[in-house]
Amino acid sequence: MRLYLASTSPARRALLAQTGIEPVLVAPGVDEDAAVAAASAALGRDLTGPELVGLLAVAKADAVADARIAGSPVDGFVFGGDSAFEVDGVLYGKPHDPEVARERWRQMLAAGGGTLWSGHCVVDRRLDRGADAALDSTTDRTGGAGRAGTVPPVRQVDPSGGGALGVAGHLGDVEPGGSTLVAAGDHVVAVDSAVLTFADDMDPEEIDAYVATGEPLEVAGAFTIDGRAAAYITRIDGAPSAVVGLSLPVLRSMLLRGLGVAWHDLWSL
């Protein structure tokens, strides 16, 4: 089975590749700022972290799901993802500018850490899927993900009841370090999160050196754990892959419990 990645992120592609999945990369071409602004205006308030990453994950997946790739329709599963880092109630995306990145790091270190929100959306676009490919709309598939139930069940929701946020409007409140999964028709949407703690002895010289590498400028929160910033992160409560931009345990559960597809069915053998 083919997995289309609605992203050109090298980190997400590498994450999937190391698990045996070779995705087809497609740039979604979504105006993220406009999508967030429209939803915020409709709601009359700023979006929460889970709402923001869920909304954009769905927008990216939908943009690719309805596209034609090399002249042919999509045939497989489309994954869209988005990330944001929250510190003391403030959401941070990509800083782009070095001085913005330095200020972000000063704020993050002063707070001691923050929460990385990771939005996920999988759209089933298999051309040969049957009418029963998705779960029955009246059934929540519980399944299991460890003794403590580390990944919650997939809740079936009405796709028309999410308001301005669409399916993402059903995600509800998510505690830092927690996750939630919902399904609506051929869409499965989830948010996972991880709480990060930074080194308490990082000094301004180290911040300047890290920013000078350029690594933090185009990543949510101005850091990555799969690069030079790994040495500055002392603890992660949650799936480390979620911090990279794609929670592998949650994606597996979305496919298995939301669409009845085993993880190994996507392996490139």
Of 237, 50, 258, 82, nearest in space to 150 by CA: 237
Whole-number average pLDDT of the chain: 91
Q: Is the pLDDT of residue 27 over 90?
A: yes
Concatenating the DSSP letter of every residue in 195-254 gives EEEE-TT--HHHHHHHHHTSGGGGSGGG--TTSGGGGGEEEEES-HHHHHT--HHHHHHI
Q: Is 75 a catalytic residue?
A: no
Q: Which of 31, 62, 75, 82 is catalytic?
A: 82
Q: Where are the alpha helices (DSSP H) in 81-182?
A: 98-111
pLDDT band at 269 (very low <50, low <70, confident <90, very high): low
Domain boundaries defined on the chain:
3-83+116-192+241-266
In this predicted structure, what is the pLDDT of residue 212?
97
